[in-house]
Amino acid sequence: MGEPGAALQGYNAALLEGLAELRARREELNGRIREEEAERGRLQARLGALSQRLARTNESLAGHLAARSDLDRSIAETEAAYGKILESSQTLLDVLKGEIGSASKASEPKSTSKQKEKLTSGQKHS
């Protein structure tokens, strides 16, 4: 029975050594798992913070886009009104020039034959 007992002890030792190696691998794996869980926790915290930043940025961007849209509308309305003012100013200027021309014609003295005689007789005396 010595040989079977020795063989059994050899198997037992090999089995214990194999179990020890498996336990060591498990502990190494547990360490990696803890590291990755910690990293996952850090990433989730960063993700939460980034999600909040993204939400705030989206809200801010929406506000800026709305403000720009309002400014674009105001600019378009102002430019249209300014164009109408320019058209009205041109029309007013054209009317004024026409009135000045009419007033000039109306205020010019009409030449009469007596005035012509005075002019010609005044030239003879000189």
Q: Assess if residue 45 is contained within a domain.
A: yes
What does the pLDDT look like over 82-126, one tens digit per residue? 999 999 999 999 999 999 988 888 777 665 555 555 555 655 554
What does the pLDDT look like over 49-93, one tens digit per residue? 999 999 999 999 999 999 999 999 999 999 999 999 999 999 999
Residue 33 token pair: 């798992």
For tokens 């000189």, the residue is 126
> Domain tally for the chain?
1
For 72, the enclosing helix (H) or strand (E) is helix 2-107
Q: Assess if residue 25 is contained within a domain.
A: yes
Q: Assess if residue 119 is contained within a domain.
A: no
Q: Which domain holds residue 63?
A: 6-100
